[in-house]
Amino acid sequence: MASGSPRAAGCSGERPKMTRKRIGVLISGRGSNMEALLAAASDPAFPAEISLVMSNRADAAGLATAASQGVATAVVDHRPYGKDRESFERALDARMRDAGVELVCLAGFMRVLTPVFVGAWDGRMLNIHPSLLPAYSGLHTHERALNDGVRVHGCTVHFVTPVLDVGPIIAQAVVPVRAGDDPDKLAARVLRQEHRLYPRALELIASGAAWLENGRVMYQDAQAMARATVFADET
């Protein structure tokens, strides 16, 4: 290779290292979506790495999973802060910044966030929600979908804005509702798609293939947009 080429510039002949976005994941419980993100990030070609997994609960099962994979973990218990959500969030924010986090992924984080934290991470915080937003924001999404008799349900990854579960949509996965479904069966079908969708959405944002512009998500091309749109093929 000619000297002066990008590859020769490193002198070692190795492929130049891609800069991976540093991700902080916030969890409150089992952390299966966090696990899906960790699995995706274990591929060196994935454009993001998980730098910190943090929880408001010391007993969140996902913390042990992350630690067992060598990922830094932290706990900021919300209880000592009482009603002072802002101080709790400032503590979360400080830990994220100490870890050099660039993008935050909420993955089953069960605290409502105020504009203090949401504003600090404006355009740099993702959430996964178990419904096809804007339908069924809030809790008990599967039960409500079944009660309404909808034929399709699913999950959404979106940017976080101050209003709960409202925010520019990055990616969605659609699953069918089957005869004989109960909330648990439907939840399990949706969750399998969550585990596909969240890494895809993060990949799109971290790689720059999708971005936020004037309150909407833009995609660099049809392929990126297609990756953000999943139709579950399972029966």
Q: Would you tell me which residues interact with ligand GRF (CB under 6 A)?
A: 27, 29-33, 107-108, 128-130, 155, 191, 194
Q: Which is nearer to ligand GRF, 84 or 182 (CB)?
A: 182
Angle at Cα 19 formed by Cα 70 and Cα 195, nearest 5°?
55
Q: Return d(Cα 140, Cα 14) in angstroms, integer.
A: 50
How do beta strands 73-75 and 48-55 pair? Answer: parallel
Smallest separation, CB 34 to ligand GRF (Å): 6
Catalytic residue among 78, 129, 153, 195: 129
Q: How many CB atoms lie within 10 A of CB 162?
A: 14
Sequence length of the chain is: 235
For ligand GRF, the closer CB: 90 or 143: 143
Work out how close the CB of 146 gets to ligand GRF at its nearest, in angstroms, rounded to a whole number. 16
Residue 129 CB, shortest distance to ligand GRF, in Å, is: 6
Q: Least distance to ligand GRF from the beta carbon of 6, Å? A: 39
Please identify, using beta-carbon distances, which residue of 47 and 62 lies nearer to ligand GRF: 62
The secondary structure of 72-128 as a DSSP string is: -EEE--SGGGTT-HHHHHHHHHHHHHHTT--EEEESS--SPPPHHHHHHTTTSEEEE
Q: Which is nearer to ligand GRF, 95 or 192 (CB)?
A: 192
CA 77 to chain centre: 21
**129 an active-site residue?**
yes
Catalytic residues: 129
